[in-house]
Structure 1
Amino acid sequence: MIRKKSRREEPLDHAELARLLPAPGDPHLSLDRHLLLEEHLMNEIQSSAPAPAPSRRAARRVLLIGVPVTAAALAGAFAVTMLTGSGDSGTTAATPPPVEAPVVRIEPGSTAQLASTVEHIAAAASARKTPEPDPGQYIYVKSKVSYLAVSHTDAYKSKTFVQPLHIREVWNSPDGKQGWVDEPGYRPKGGVTLNSDVKSNLNAPSYDYLRTLPTDPDTLLKKIYKETEGQGNSPDQEAFTTVGDLLGEQLAPAKLNAALYRAAAKIPGVVVVEHVKDAVGREGIALAHVDRQSGDRTEWIFDPKTYTYLGSRAVQVELADDIKPGTVLEYTAVLERAVVDAQKQRPGAQGTDA
């Protein structure tokens, strides 16, 4: 091989280098590349470090702030990959593109009816017959959900994108060691396992674990604060979030359900919001708490007549990260809650409706 010698022996100055080299490209990553690199990084971390205790808590918020992207690129990116993180791994190429988040009128919250509302909810929970799963059975919860996908982009600073509403089904054994989640479009076809050998705790509660929790509201709340210390944006926010996580995709004994509601009422900042809709449009009344760091309000929605838990919603109430107040960041609706005889079995002739 013949190598041509440079015509210049002396070093080039900066101006000369700038003239000779091509112009630099856009330093910003496209959204699809950003997501793929993020997923690769997380996989590398998980493969090179001891696996942490998995949590069944749905870590829903994928915030990609300040990413320049067009609407077409946004749709394409989410058709490639999506990070939803619910204690299992797995993505699907058929992930639907995100849609613009709905914006609602912000209903004011009040403490005026807090005590009476919580007592109605707790009394209804205590009176409700709750099936007790036997070893070998599974707790089944079917929901309709939508979670935050992208907070905002440089191209659309006033727009927030969420997942389209879709069905999510979860099966959990009473001891929490076996489970399954089926979420078409967001999990591989047929679903993925939630099996775990990790001991149950407040962040990953099993039915058997919930049976051991105290049913005195003060004692229960003290335990929640102690065991979640240092997590979340504030102790109060983390306590409220922890109680909420026990309501969504789990089955709790009736007395504990009542204690959870009464404990939540003692958390500073909890209010009642009188007019709220869940993910399928059912009207309800909510217990709510504002996260002062992120500016969004988490709402647990109950039927205003029967006080049955309907679902949850997160609404931006204060401007933060360029998210418009009134933006619905996530919302859910529990459609079925039952005890069934086998994993992946749906309620029917062999299932017992909860």
Structure 2
Amino acid sequence: MIRKKSRREESLDPAELARLLPAPGDPHLSLDRHLLLEEHLMNEIRPTAIAPTPSRRPARRVLLIGVPATAAAVAGVFAFSALTDSGGSRSTAATPPPVEAPVVRIEPGSTAQLASTVEHIAAAASARKTPEPGPGQYIYIKSKVSFLVVSHTDTDESKPLVQPLHIREVWHSPDGKKGWLDEPGYKPKGGITLDSDVESGLNAPSYDFLKTLPTDPDVLLRKVYKETKGQGNSPDQEAFDTIGNLLREQLAPAKLNAALYRAAAKIPGVVVVDRAMDAAGREGIALAHVDQKSGDRTEWIFDRKTYAYLGSRGVQVKQVYGVKPGTVTESTAVLERAVVDAQKQRPGAQGTGA
């Protein structure tokens, strides 16, 4: 028997059908994580594209925590596949396979010693002699790093995976217009250019830009809040992340360094964590802030005696989308910070250490 279409079936057009069906699921990508995913996709599509330093936080997340299994999740899988693909002429070595994220004991945070700890850190920063790069010179930063590669989706119960600890080296001209990044296994052999015509700012800080920032902590913090308003996460989290990004792969004048730490201490929710370990295995004291959306805590780690900045760590402190508390989602350690005379040159006879 042949079934005849009803009048309604015959007249139902695609527009009406779309109106009747429920709206597609929203992947809930936050701005910073969306930008990070886009960054990695574009780096694979355009090998010579600018590869930003690990800033805007994320730089620590290659895939997103809790992305629903929709188009966004498919895009994330593509990004992960592209990052781990060693085919073609881009590199002679395969990207190291990711490893299971380490899990650590969650140290409590407290505001009891916040004021005194920050004053120690700021005083040490003010007293530390910092070289000033001249025309034609480059700021060199060598780090050991590990960032989150892939995490849960709402249909995937696999454990979070991170990059194995590896070396990352960057060179930046003082004006931020020229640079180089060498990250074996994660960038093409020999490295990639960081040359850019983008104007320097809080999201893309150059040394010359940092010299223009106010050194009054209150004025500085107001500027950070104003210029990051509406970006990424909550205003407090965004302010903390922004200041952290100014510290990680850049060289800042001593007075500004001190002001940045004092400004960070004024952000609601900042605490002192008595024990934290950087990617080089160095234990220190940390200034930290919890991201209430993702459930992880960003820690800036300082030497317990000299109060020098060592590195950073991201630790999950509450379970979100299956990522268990204590999971280390990011780990970095600054091994060397110096001024050198040429791009790709490493510190030595021609460089001035910081």
Is the TM-score greater than 0.5?
Answer: yes
Shift of 1:63: 2.6
Structure 1 unaligned residues grouped into runs of 5+: 1-8, 14-37, 69-75, 84-89
Deviation string 1:189-210 (CA, Å, 9 cap, x unpaired) is 0000000111100000000000
CA contact (8 A) 1:81 1:93 kept: no
Superposition map of 1:50-89 within 5 A: 56=53, 57=55, 59-63=59-63, 65=66, 81-82=82-83
Superposition map of 1:323-342 within 5 A: 323-342=323-342
Name segments (4+ residues, structure 1) moved above 3 Å.
9-13, 38-44, 53-56, 64-68, 76-80, 90-93, 153-156
The aligned amino acid for 1:343 is: Q
The aligned amino acid for 1:247 is: L
Shift of 1:135: 1.1
Shift of 1:321: 1.2
What secondary structure does 1:142 align onto? strand
CA contact (8 A) 2:52 2:194 kept: no
**Structure 1 equivalent of residue 318 of structure 2:** 318
**Structure 2 equivalent of residue 223 of structure 1:** 223
Q: Report how many residues are paired.
A: 304
1:233 aligns with 2:268: no
Shift of 1:172: 0.2
What secondary structure does 1:238 align onto? helix
CA distance in structure 2 between the partners assigned to 1:136 and 1:331 by the alignment:
32
Deviation string 1:200-222 (CA, Å, 9 cap, x unpaired) is 00000000000000000000000
**Structure 1 equivalent of residue 74 of structure 2:** none
Question: Residue 155 and residue 236 in structure 1: after superposition, are their counterparts in 2 closer, same or farther (change >3 A)?
Answer: closer
**Structure 2 equivalent of residue 269 of structure 1:** 269
What secondary structure does 2:83 align onto? coil
TM-score (norm 1): 0.79
The aligned amino acid for 1:110 is: S
CA contact (8 A) 2:80 2:149 kept: no
Shift of 1:157: 2.0
Larger Rg belongs to: 1
**Structure 1 equivalent of residue 97 of structure 2:** 97
Q: CA RMSD in A?
A: 3.0
CA distance in structure 2 between the partners assigned to 1:66 and 1:265 by the alignment:
32
Shift of 1:81: 2.5
CA distance in structure 2 between the partners assigned to 1:218 and 1:98 by the alignment:
42
Shift of 1:116: 0.2
Shift of 1:94: 1.5
**Structure 1 equivalent of residue 28 of structure 2:** none
What secondary structure does 1:286 align onto? strand
Structure 2 unaligned residues grouped into runs of 5+: 6-36, 70-76, 85-89
Deviation string 1:17-38 (CA, Å, 9 cap, x unpaired) is xxxxxxxxxxxxxxxxxxxxx8
Question: Residue 270 and residue 166 in structure 1: after superposition, are their counterparts in 2 closer, same or farther (change >3 A)?
Answer: same
CA distance in structure 1 between the partners assigned to 2:219 and 2:245 by the alignment:
19
The aligned amino acid for 1:338 is: A
Superposition map of 1:1-354 within 5 A: 42-43=41-42, 56=53, 57=55, 59-63=59-63, 65=66, 81-82=82-83, 94-152=94-152, 157=157, 159-354=159-354
Deviation string 1:252-286 (CA, Å, 9 cap, x unpaired) is 00000000000000000000000111011101000
What secondary structure does 1:152 align onto? coil
